């Protein structure tokens, strides 16, 4: 894969599932046709500055809330004001 930071090894998983543990102890599953996994040879400070776990295809379905004071990020399907 090629991006702003250069090239990186990319692996593709087909029919992947992401499991999220909810506050109510239930599990939410995202079924993905394919999941691209990027692996950097070395993790530089520049790469660690913008950590990415989920892509826009998943994030755009939900609201992402980041609370710096508690150092937590929440993904929710609840409506935000």
In a domain, 24, yes or no: yes
Percent of the chain at pLDDT exceeding 90: 2
Residue keyed to tokens 């994030």: 59
Average confidence (pLDDT) over 16-35: 86
Q: What is the band of 48 on the pLDDT scale with cuts at 50, 70, 90? A: low
Residue 60 lies in a domain: yes
Q: What is the mean pLDDT of residues 50-59?
A: 68
Residue at 63 is within a domain: yes
Once rounded to an integer, what is the mean pLDDT over residues 49-71?
75
Rounded to whole angstroms, how far apart are CA atoms 68 and 70?
Answer: 5
Residue 35 tokens, joined: 């999941």
| pLDDT at residue 80 is higher than 60 | no
DSSP string, 14-81: EEEEEEEE-TTS-EEEEEEEEEEEEE-SS--HHHHTS---S-HHHHTTSEEEEETTTTEEEEE-SPP-
Q: How many domains, in total, are found in the chain?
A: 1
Residue 81 has pLDDT above 60, yes or no: no
Is residue 81 situated within a structural domain? no
For residue 55, name the pLDDT band (cuts at 50, 70, 90).
Answer: confident
Note whether residue 58 is domain-resident. yes
Instruction: Establish if 31 belongs to a structural domain.
Output: yes
* Residue numbers of the domain that contains 10: 2-76
Q: What is the mean pLDDT of residues 18-26?
A: 85
């Amino acid at each position: 894969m090629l991006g702003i930071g250069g090239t990186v090894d990319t692996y593709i998983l087909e029919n992947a599932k992401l499991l999220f543990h909810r506050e109510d102890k239930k599990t939410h599953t995202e079924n993905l046709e394919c999941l691209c996994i990027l692996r950097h040879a070395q993790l530089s400070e520049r790469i660690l500055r913008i950590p990415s776990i989920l892509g826009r295809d998943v994030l755009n379905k939900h609201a992402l809330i980041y609370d710096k004071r508690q150092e937590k990020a929440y993904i929710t399907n609840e409506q935000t004001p």
